[in-house]
């Protein structure tokens, strides 16, 4: 498994990470198989959030990890905070309480990374800075980042926060390509030219922020998986042809498409199926050519100007 230096921080993370949102639905025994399978395939990075399963996902992970041969120092743990029922909350009090809760549920002394989950328009950056400093100085969080934020939101935080923000977690995949569409359609008037993300891809590359792609196989926002979906015959035919050619599954090709981008995007997979994890990680062993990458992009319904 290839590694990514997250945000040039020195944290060497597998380019494919396991997202643990659905782990709350598993028994401890099944969860341990998922964790061990991912680790045996080179995945050393596990993504959590305090809201996943109402906290149960972190609890199940902690219990399941003890049933594996994996030690804490062999993996990197990331969690996210800031989403509350009916609101977002980046207050110092909530950030610290959330981290304390995650540490307790995960049964660990520290997080390798903490992300702010969704932008809080009532954010007071000075409070975020105080929370980050307190958590960092106490050794409870090593690195910090954000999720679903645009460049100016990041700049505002970074003006006050002492620690470099190393990660931005964003939805990205074959059927969710907004962050690259606008860059391809510069100076055009077609819908694809609309910049919804304020050049977040280029900003991230310029500032050495690692983009983590969430829901890489979804179309829209939680509308469903596009792979094998009859709604998308052209892109599936293209991916299936490449999968047969390279001797891998369609999910490996869809993952390899993300990994092929020179921005060194880390892909967060959410599968809780050991067999599917075994299939997906093969993406790290193949490289799509420029022609193959663009053939998928066009088959997904995009048009080059």
Q: How confident is the model at residue 66 (pLDDT cuts 50, 70, 90)?
A: very high
Q: What is the pLDDT of residues 191-223, one digit of tens each?
A: 999 999 999 999 999 999 999 999 999 998 778
- Whether 299 is in a domain gets the answer no
- pLDDT higher than threshold 90 for residue 238: yes
- Whether 285 is in a domain gets the answer no
Task: Provide the pLDDT for residue 208.
Answer: 97
Coil, strand or helix: which one is 67? coil
Contact 255, 216 (CB under 8 A): yes
CA-CA distance, 109 to 81, in Å (whole number)?
Answer: 17
- Whether 52 is in a domain gets the answer yes
Task: Provide the pLDDT for residue 11.
Answer: 97
Q: What is the pLDDT of residues 32-49, one digit of tens each?
A: 999 999 999 999 999 999
- Whether 147 is in a domain gets the answer yes
- pLDDT higher than threshold 90 for residue 258: yes
Structure tokens at 17: 């990470």
Q: What average pLDDT score do residues 49-56 get?
A: 97
CATH classification at residue 159: 3.20.20.100
Q: What average pLDDT score do residues 144-171 get?
A: 98
Task: Provide the pLDDT for residue 12.
Answer: 98
Task: Provide the pLDDT for residue 173.
Answer: 98
Residue closest to 209 by CA, chosen among 181, 241, 168, 175: 168
Q: What average pLDDT score do residues 156-162 get?
A: 98
C-alpha R_g of the chain: 19
Mean pLDDT (the chain, rounded): 97
| Half-sphere exposure for 202 (CA within 13 Å, toward CB) | 9
Number of independent structural domains in the chain: 1
- Whether 259 is in a domain gets the answer no
- Whether 16 is in a domain gets the answer yes
Instruction: Give CA angle at 270 (199, 296), nearest 5°.
Output: 55
Element (H, E) at 79: strand 76-81
Task: Provide the pLDDT for residue 220.
Answer: 80
pTM: predicted TM-score of the whole model, two decimal places: 0.96
- Whether 305 is in a domain gets the answer no
- Whether 278 is in a domain gets the answer no
Query: Which residue range forms the structural domain that includes residue 98?
Result: 3-225+264-270
Coil, strand or helix: which one is 39? helix
Structure tokens at 183: 């860059």
- pLDDT higher than threshold 80 for residue 148: yes
């Amino acid at each position: 498994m290839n590694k990514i230096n997250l945000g040039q921080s020195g944290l060497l993370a597998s380019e494919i990470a396991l997202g643990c949102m659905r782990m709350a639905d598993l028994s401890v025994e099944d969860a341990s198989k998922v964790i061990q399978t991912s680790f045996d395939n080179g995945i050393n990075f596990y993504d959590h959030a305090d809201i996943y399963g109402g906290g149960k996902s972190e609890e199940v992970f902690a219990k399941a990890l003890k049933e594996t041969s994996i030690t804490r120092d062999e993996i990197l743990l990331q969690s996210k905070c800031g989403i509350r029922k009916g609101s977002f909350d980046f207050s110092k009090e909530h950030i610290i309480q959330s981290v304390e809760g995650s540490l307790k549920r995960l049964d660990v002394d520290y997080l390798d990374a903490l992300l702010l989950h969704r932008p809080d328009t009532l954010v007071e950056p000075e409070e975020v800075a105080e929370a980050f400093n307190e958590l960092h100085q106490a050794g409870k969080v090593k690195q910090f980042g954000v999720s679903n934020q645009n460049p100016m939101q990041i700049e505002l935080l970074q003006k006050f926060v002492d620690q470099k923000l190393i990660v931005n977690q964003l939805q990205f995949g074959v059927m969710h390509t907004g962050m690259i569409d606008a860059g391809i359609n510069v100076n055009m008037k077609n819908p694809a030219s609309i910049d919804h993300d304020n050049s977040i891809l280029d900003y991230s590359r310029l500032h050495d922020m690692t983009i983590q792609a969430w829901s890489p196989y979804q179309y829209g926002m939680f509308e469903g998986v596009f792979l094998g979906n009859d709604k998308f015959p052209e892109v599936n035919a293209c991916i299936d042809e490449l999968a047969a050619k390279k001797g891998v599954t369609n999910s490996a090709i869809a993952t390899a498409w993300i990994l092929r981008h020179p921005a060194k995007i880390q892909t967060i997979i959410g599968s809780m199926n050991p067999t599917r994890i075994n299939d997906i990680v093969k993406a790290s062993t193949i490289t799509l050519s420029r022609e193959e990458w663009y053939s998928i992009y066009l088959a997904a319904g995009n048009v080059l100007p």
